[in-house]
Structure 1
């Protein structure tokens, strides 16, 4: 007689959902440990700060304004915050901070352009930037720019002039030798310019940018003279001013004939 073999009892299975949760917890814990270890490692720290593009600012001044030093967190503060720190320096026109992993922070600075020079009350020569800021001139290196004379440092017209000079072509700006205020009742911002090519120019700060093409054309193609650029533009060569009139010449000849 055949006997039936009783079926073996199966061990109860652990629900798959419980395994998934356990695995997720383990992965999360492992990730947290890795993150903690990473942020404690040298890989998460600033190792090198590189500054480029400075002219009147020193590298140390930029680094001080940046607000971080090697050993600080590489990820915080962010690039925009660091850019704002450096942008607060008066000579800085634009700045870009680029972080390169691991540990390198590049600070790319663009300073305001040089537009003029001036001599301070102490006799020191200073370079004037397009935002009106005057900075000490580097020893043995003076830019070929016009000299501002007769201007007050806090004069708003002076700052407007510097901004207008920044829009001038380099060759024309280089040709300017001196710029002084020459205000009148009708034109409070009137100025007088002298060029190395021996032109004398009267215009206003507010009209200067508009008149640049006309000024360039005369300086390049005419003989030295006086240029008036206000509501209307006029040009008179110095040779015409010095030439004797026909009446004067006739009187002179008549006088000579009488004395003979």
Structure 2
């Protein structure tokens, strides 16, 4: 009899456990429903959408051009597409050297771009002036701005040599780039990429696009420390000041006059 009385509380305790487990399940279910409602309300609210789109760093491109290729607008989802996908879209714009995308909650999308630097200008046949960027891209000159950059003449657009030249120009020291006044192609049988450069300090330089990067230090030394003259930087480097060239010409003219007089 005593044993039966002792077993009754055990059955009662198991029933309490089942009731307690059922309450916990119900609470988790209510919690999940509440969270789902909050999530739905959040994604339908303005907090989950772009309220502002900022474009920073454009010069040749307009903000509208960047936003157009970005293909998002205020009111679109803040979370989709991902920043990496948006970056890939903007990076297709040719003037851009780099781009970064950041999202600042709530609702701010910031696009920071860096365009290729301007290294030269180019004149068209009808006298229009264009900017040439470090990647060889030719764009209309920004209104009201005439850059202190060399003029490229005689070049064809998309010429591989022009593109290579522009990349080299972007690596020149600023003082040297600003001293260059004109660059034109001067190909020969031996050097298909030969060029002639003229400086504002009155130097004439003959070299090739391929050799120019290795000759920059030599050229810099001459331009800064020698009197104006002609510099040839091919297999061998030579420098002849105009004063010596003029003296040689005068001597030659004098010899020609003497020879002419002696034959009369």
When normalised by structure 1's length, the TM-score is 0.89
Q: C-alpha separation between the residues in 1 aligned to 2:78 and 2:93?
A: 23
Distance change in 2, residues 1:87/1:246 (3 Å): closer
2:68: which partner in 1?
64
1:13: which partner in 2?
16
Of the candidates 104, 107, 111, which is equivalent to residue 107 of structure 1? 111
Q: C-alpha separation between the residues in 1 aligned to 2:188 and 2:144?
A: 38
Q: C-alpha separation between the residues in 2 aligned to 1:209 and 1:61?
A: 35
1:148: which partner in 2?
152
**Runs of 4+ with >6 A deviation:** 6-9, 245-252
Q: C-alpha separation between the residues in 1 aligned to 2:61 and 2:240?
A: 44
Distance change in 2, residues 1:245/1:60 (3 Å): closer
Deviation of the 1:192 alpha carbon: 0.3
Of the candidates 74, 81, 84, which is equivalent to residue 85 of structure 2? 81
Figure out how many residues of one structure are paired with residues of the other and give that number.
250
> Is residue 180 from structure 1 mapped to residue 204 from structure 2 by the alignment?
no
Contact kept, 8 Å, 2:49 with 2:107, in 1: the verdict is: yes
Q: C-alpha separation between the residues in 1 aligned to 2:249 and 2:97?
A: 55
Please identify which structure carries the higher helix content.
2
Of the candidates 93, 99, 114, which is equivalent to residue 95 of structure 1? 99
Q: C-alpha separation between the residues in 2 aligned to 1:189 and 1:113?
A: 23
Distance change in 2, residues 1:141/1:71 (3 Å): same
**CA offsets per residue over residues 74-124 of structure 1, 9 Å max, x none?**
010011111111111111111001100000011101001101000123321
Q: C-alpha separation between the residues in 1 aligned to 2:255 and 2:188?
A: 38
Of the candidates 43, 46, 57, which is equivalent to residue 47 of structure 2? 43
Residue aligned with 1:23, SS? helix
When normalised by structure 2's length, the TM-score is 0.88
What is the RMSD of the two structures over their aligned residues, measured on CA atoms?
2.5
**Where in structure 1 are there 5+ consecutive unaligned residues?**
1-5
User: After the TM superposition, which residues 126-205 of structure 1 pair with which residues of structure 2 at under 5 Å, given as runs?
Assistant: 126-205=130-209
